[in-house]
Structures are given as structure tokens and as C-alpha cells.
Chain A
């Protein structure tokens, strides 16, 4: 599947109009363009270039970036930890907040609390990420001076606390892309579970409502939520493109934007392969998580 994704990307980006940024600039003559295209090897047929790329890729060599002459592996390696930190924090935040909020809404279904939280979810889903990002920067960095506006660390001090304060705003903004979905899934799954026979049985046995929810309902309601989380990983990675641009976060999202705008063919292909691998890995983890939550599913 990853090979398929790489082939698709490789051919599509090479067929897209335009060319590498060094060639597609105003202040370059026809003679220079020709020399540069030759130097980058782009005068050879696409199929030949893909075959060479694939031969290298199976050995762990994803080629050389056309924009910087660094290896693609090195460029992605520099950025991947930052994106995983940002996306991981946002996901953790969404799960830690989303599950209890969804649960509360389900238990308080139809009350003002439920409506208010639903309203927040709707706002969260509909507010554009870049707008929210800029507003939060203006509020917390410009007006209140309590949080840094951009970057992953300060230039002068690189401590854990410094890194965490830099993480707060971008992780919060990125979380808004998935948190409302988790809340909705949790709410509807819990409502559904609460109607099940075994819940009624448990309640009629005389178990305290708290024990019914924590012992019986929660575990079952989590199953659809966990699969939703797996499906949200690609959306989360997509969200990093804008979030990283607004907050100058040196991650893969910004790298992807630069690679696409500059037609850095090997880098775009390499990024696609890595993101595809992450998505595959995420669904594997979700499958494994099922077995933990639901004892009926066991690894063969």
C-alpha cells in the first residue's frame, strides 16, 4: 500500500504544472534553466526516475531534496519529532478532554449543560484553524504576554518548561480539529450503550449509578471512540499544515507546504511515504487497543 502511495505521488507531482523553485523563478534565463534541469536529472523520463527512487527507497534512501541538497531522510528526520510532539499532544488533549465531556453530555442529555457543550463543539468544528491561531496569539502573546507567539523553543533558553510553554497554543489549536469529533462519538456511543439490556440489568441489580457507568457503560462506549481516534490521525496530520504555518512550528506540515510550493519531487514523495506509514501504524495500534478494551476480541 505504501509503494502504491509513493508511485501515485511521484507521478502526480511530476505531472503537475510548474517545476522546482530554482527553475521557476523570474530572474533565471532559459540557458540557466536548462543547466539546472540537467543538474537535477529532471531531463530523464519519469518512469526511469521512479524506478531509481524505488530501488533506493527499499534500502532506506528516499533521495535528495531539490531545494536544499540534503537527503530526504535527514530533512524528514529533523521535522518528524516536532510534528509527533505537536500532534501527539493535541490528540492526548482531545482524548483526555473529549471522553469525559462526551460522557457528561450523554449522562446529562437534554439539559442546558449538554446544549452548552454541544454549542462549543459546533464552534470548535466551524472556526478556521488559522483564524483561531492568530486570535490566540494576539490575546496570549501580544496582549497578555503570558505565552510565546511562535516557534518550538526560545532562541536564548532551551529548557523543558520553555518547550512546554511553546507547545500550549499550537496544541490547543490543533486539538480543535479533532476534539469535537471525539466528544460527539463519545456522547452518541454512551447514549446508545445506556439503552442496552445489560446496563438495565446492572442497574436493576442495585449497582450504584457511578459503578454502572464506570464498570459497564464506559468500557463498551469506548470501542467506537477508539476506532474514531484511529480514523482521526490523518485529519490531525493534515491540520498540522496550517497550525505549523501559523505558529512557525518546525514540523512536517510546513515542510510539506514548502515541498509542494517548490515542487521538491523527492521530498513530497518521501513525506507521503512517511505519513502513509504513520496512518498504517495508527490503525494497527487501534486494532491492538481493541483487544485491551474488549475481551471478546483476542489476537489469534
Chain B
């Protein structure tokens, strides 16, 4: 196994930072609100003007439905394109291109009333036809392979009721539709994209026609994408003059650019650098909750892992608090269900202490399941040692996390080999072919507790149900959640779902990460959301005069 240049670079930076770092003492998890800085003296009223610069890792694809729109495209596309809804500041769906929405009595359709007077950045009028085009001719066309189309499996078609009204007709009840439409579901211009809507280079890599508060001024490949105000925007005029996304491939260079004042706001992926950034003048650090959780999937085609006592034993055996402390520097909390604390209306905090770190309890559960220590201390059953391989994708914190889990399982007599793989090959082996025994990864999902695609038995083996867990009772809860349309009954279903998944452990839940954002102290008006969600509110951001 060889170390990648970027990883070595990270070590180099860590060394360089260690030489110059002042010891930071702020406890992790305490959020420093950007507005609380003394620098903003009298100027609490927003002012117009200025440029905000945001780093991205690679050239973006300016079409969120393109299968080539990767994580680097999320920021900019959420600025350029509006959906029917957007995530509210409480993450519940809020109006965007749609003003209001209602579901039919039978739950088999949703009707959206569109905002009037909306124009595309080229001055043409936006209408219900654009919405119908986006779904009927792009998302729902199977041969185009549009990104995220799996989220709309329940949508039959979209009908234009009148120029200001659309109806989504469904094959089954889908209570989460307004939330899903807030998540990377921008509406595309029919009058521009009729030819090949996902492969129009002048759009995806040039100057697309859009409805958001800013529009593309210049796309310089490998360098930057500069945005200016969209004068046709329907909402209040944004305070900022320009927003520039600079392509900075190396995360350590991103940090250096933040320190040198070239970057206004960014996500700090390398949390090890947080103390160095905190000690820098002119920068503010903020932690934000995310709709994301890490998990360990145990392939359910392996008979050893179908015993729930084995799964529960593993969760007791893994010191998750130590993982959070070590790889997240404390920015995270223990997970025991797929519903994250960011979804505050649904999250059940009482489950947080369900599986304390307890190797003795783990051994006891494993003994109950028939695994007893052999002469070498390794557990065995019917003469077979408890031994398996975990595949490790080279991305983010996965490598150190797997090493910690390996050590923890060794302490209870389970032997794990780690097979580290380059990301692309890893996806092919573990996700496409499902040729794996155990693996750690994470899910990020729309801001709604409808986790049907990741847990339903119909998604086992080929969809997003990675462990291939199948359970009629869980299926039933998932369908109930999609069918219950009012908030209170949904809350009740998803409380049950959290309790049930924490007991049965379809995936072994590890932790809910938090995001660390680094902001210039002159940047104001950024809502306390994950930065990717805060992009929906860029019209409210402003820069104080220094």
C-alpha cells in the first residue's frame, strides 16, 4: 500500500502547522456565531457591495441533474438554480419557486402553486412548463440516467394544470415530496435545454440560464466561476456584488488561502487544522449540524451477521466516543438511528445512550450467540474463527476510523483484516457488485426522515440498502412514514422507526458528524446551517466594511 501525494501533503501541512500553531483551547462543539464578533461595531445593518470567495475542489457541472455533478457542484448550483421548495432555516421545506402546496385526500398527488412574475436570467418568463419539462423530460426519462432520479421513484408524471400550477401524480403515497424537492432539485429552462438536457456543454460548463439571485459571468476551466447579480431575480436584491468559486484542488492549499485572506468562507474538511485556524486573526470558526451519519454495514448474506446479538455486540465493542474525539476532534455525536439531530423535529435524543462502550457486555452477547474464545483468544464457533475483511475506501476519515474499529473488535476476540482501496475501485467492488463482508461509509440525505431508499427490502442488493437487510416490520414502518401526511403522525411513526432500527441495527450506526465552517469575520448574515444549505440564503449574506 502506498501513501497518496495528497495524504503525504496533509502530513506535511500538519507538521508545518504544528510548528506555527498557537494552542487553541476552545472546547469543540461550542459554536461561535459569526455575528458575535466585536469587529462589527455599529454596523449591524446590512450594506451592499463586495465579493465573497468560496473554494471548490474541482470544476463544477452547472446542472444538478447531471450524473457528473459531484460534491463540488453543490454549492454553486444551489445559488444558481431554484427548486420548487428550499430547505427552511429549520430544514422543513419552505417556498421557493412554489408559493404553496397541498396533497390530495388520497395522498396520490401533490399540487404546487407557482410564484408569479419569475423570470429566467435571460429575461424569458418562467412557467409551469419548465417544471413539467424538468421532471417529465429529464428526471423521469430512464435512459438519461439523471442524478437523484431514484428519489422520485414514486412520481408517475408532472401535469401542467395552468401556467402557474403543477401537479405531481404518484404511484404511491409520498409525504416527503416537498422536502425532496428542496434537495438538489433545481428547475431547468425548457427553452434552452430541449436538445440534450444533461449534455449541453454551453450550459453545464459555461453560462447557464437560471432563476437564482446570481448568474454566471465567467466560467474559467480549472480556475474559477464568477457570478454576478441576476437582475431578473424575483426576490430581494442580494447585498453582495459578486460571488466567486475558486477551484482549489488541495485541501491544505484551501486552508492556506483562508489564512492569507483569499477565501471568505469554506468548509474545513481537515479538522486537524481547526486550532490553527481559530488562532488566526480575521477568521471565525463555526460548527454546524449535518443531515449525515456514518455507519458500518455488515453484509446480510453472511450468516454470522444475521444474528442481531452479534450486531449489538459490535456496537458495544466499538468505542465510538473515542472515534469522534480522534477523527472529528469532538465535532460529532453518537448515532443510534438514521435520523440525525439536525432534523430536530424528529430526532429522539433518548436513544443516544443506548449502546455504551462496553467490551464485557459485547463478549457476553457474543457468547450468547455461540461465539466462545479459542486457545489463541480469537472467538470461534463450530471450529471456525471469527475473522473477516473490511474494505476501506480512501476518502475523508475512513482510513483512521477503520483502524480504530479493527483494534476495538480485536479486544473482544474478533479478527478484522483491512483492505484499503482507491475510491473508484472500492465503489465498484462494494457498491456495484456488493462483493464485500463489512465496510464503513456514510449517508447524506434530504432534510426529511423518509429513509425508505436506504432501508426498504426492495432496495436490498441493488439499491441503497447496502447491508441488504430485509425486515417486513421495518418495511411497514417505512411505508407508514410515507403515507402519514401531517407532522404529528409522521413524528410518531419516525419515533417508532428510530427505536426499532436502534434495536435491530440494519446498519451499525456510528456517529453524526458536524461540519466546521471557517468564515471571514467581516462576513455576516449567513444562517446557522450546514454551508451547503446556507447557499440557499446567499441573498442575505453581506460584508461589513473593515
Listed in ascending order, the chain A residues whose CB lies under 8 Å from chain B are 16-19, 21-33, 35-36, 38-39, 67-70, 75, 78-79, 82, 128, 130-131, 133-135, 137-138, 141-142, 145, 148-153, 155-156, 241-242, 245-248, 250-251, 254-255, 257-258, 261-263
Contacts and interface: CB of A to CB of B under 8 A. Distances in A.
Contacts of B428: 17-19, 24
B462 to A, nearest CB: 4
Contact of A245 (B6, B68, B432): B6
Contacts of A69: 68, 199, 201, 204-205
B59 A68 contact: yes
Nearest to B149: A32
B300 interface: no
Contact of A32 (B16, B51, B145): B145
A242 B4 CA distance: 10
Interface of B is mostly: mixed
B70 interface: yes
B151 to A, nearest CB: 9
A134 B16 contact: yes
A35 B59 contact: no
B424 A35 contact: no
Contacts of B68: 21-22, 67-69
Interface stretch (B41-49, B217-225, B344-352, B411-419): B217-225
Given A33-B432, A134-B252, A24 B9 contact: no
Given A138-B256, A250-B247, 20 more contacts: A17-B429, A24-B428, A27-B464, A29-B462, A31-B142, A32-B149, A35-B142, A35-B145, A68-B201, A75-B221, A134-B9, A134-B13, A138-B20, A142-B259, A145-B260, A150-B257, A150-B262, A155-B246, A245-B249, A254-B249
A83 to B, nearest CB: 11
A132 to B, nearest CB: 9
Contacts of A141: 256-257, 260, 262
B12 A149 contact: no
A124 B422 CA distance: 30
22 contacts: A17-B429, A18-B422, A18-B424, A29-B463, A29-B464, A31-B142, A32-B145, A32-B146, A33-B145, A35-B142, A36-B67, A68-B201, A69-B205, A79-B222, A135-B12, A137-B253, A149-B260, A155-B244, A245-B5, A246-B250, A248-B248, A254-B249
A145 B249 CA distance: 21
B194 interface: no
Interface string B202-222: 001100000000000000111
A35 B53 CA distance: 37
A150 B256 CA distance: 9
A246 B9 contact: yes
Interface in B403-450: 422-425, 427-429, 431-432, 441
A155 B463 contact: no
B144 interface: yes
Interface of B: 5-6, 8-9, 12-13, 16, 20, 51, 53, 58-59, 61, 67-68, 70, 142-150, 199, 201, 204-205, 220-224, 226, 244, 246-250, 252-253, 256-257, 259-260, 262, 422-425, 427-429, 431-432, 441, 462-464
Contacts of A263: 424
Contacts of A137: 253, 256
Contacts of B51: 156
A21 B20 contact: no
Nearest to B429: A17
Nearest to A264: B68
B143 A135 contact: no
A78 B16 CA distance: 34
A262 B244 CA distance: 25
A274 B5 CA distance: 24
A39 B5 contact: no
Given A21-B424, A70-B201, A149-B256, A35 B8 contact: no
Contact of A131 (B12, B201, B223): B12
A25 B221 CA distance: 23
A21 B247 CA distance: 19
A248 B244 contact: no
A73 to B, nearest CB: 13
Given A18-B425, A31-B142, A36-B145, A135 B464 contact: no
B253 A246 contact: yes
Contact of B226 (A24, A150, A151, A155): A155
Nearest to A145: B260
Contacts of A133: 9
Given A134-B253, A155-B244, A254-B249, A22 B67 contact: yes
Given A30-B462, A150-B248, A261-B423, A68 B61 contact: yes
Nearest to A129: B5
